[in-house]
Amino acid sequence: MSTLQIWLAILGMGVVTAVTRALFLAGGERMVLPPRVQRVLRYAPAAALAGVVVPDLLVTPAGISLGLSNHALWASAAGLAYYLWRRGMMGTIVIGMLVFTVLRLAA
């Protein structure tokens, strides 16, 4: 790619981003989303988080792995179990990191 093409791509992405974000602002208070759309949008953060985290936990350099060699998967499962049991964020992080470290050292 030439320098001009790179700058045109950056400019184009900026315009697309600005336009899509400005559509909600342009309507102001006159634009009200239907209740069904509002209910659906409540799940968007969880869906986005799952879309980012799950592939990172399952995919290893060798492919998709559910085995004991996938330390991140089992550490996150331990952290999730602790969180569901105690509802504490700091303990979740500590348990997850402890399990991850033990698995890495044992391997």
pLDDT in tens, 27-58: 777 778 899 999 999 999 999 989 999 999 99
Both tokens assigned to 59: 């995919």
How far apart are the C-alpha atoms of 95 and 76, rounded to whole Å? Answer: 9
Task: Specify the residue for token string 């184009």.
Answer: 12
**pTM for the model:** 0.62
Structure confidence by residue, pLDDT tens digits, 48-97: 989 999 999 998 888 899 988 899 999 999 999 999 999 999 999 999 99
The type of residue at 13 is M
Query: What is the chain's alpha carbon radius of gyration, rounded to the nearest angstrom?
Result: 21
SS3 of 55-103: HHHHEECCEECCCCCCHHHHHHHHHHHHHHHHCCHHHHHHHHHHHHHHH
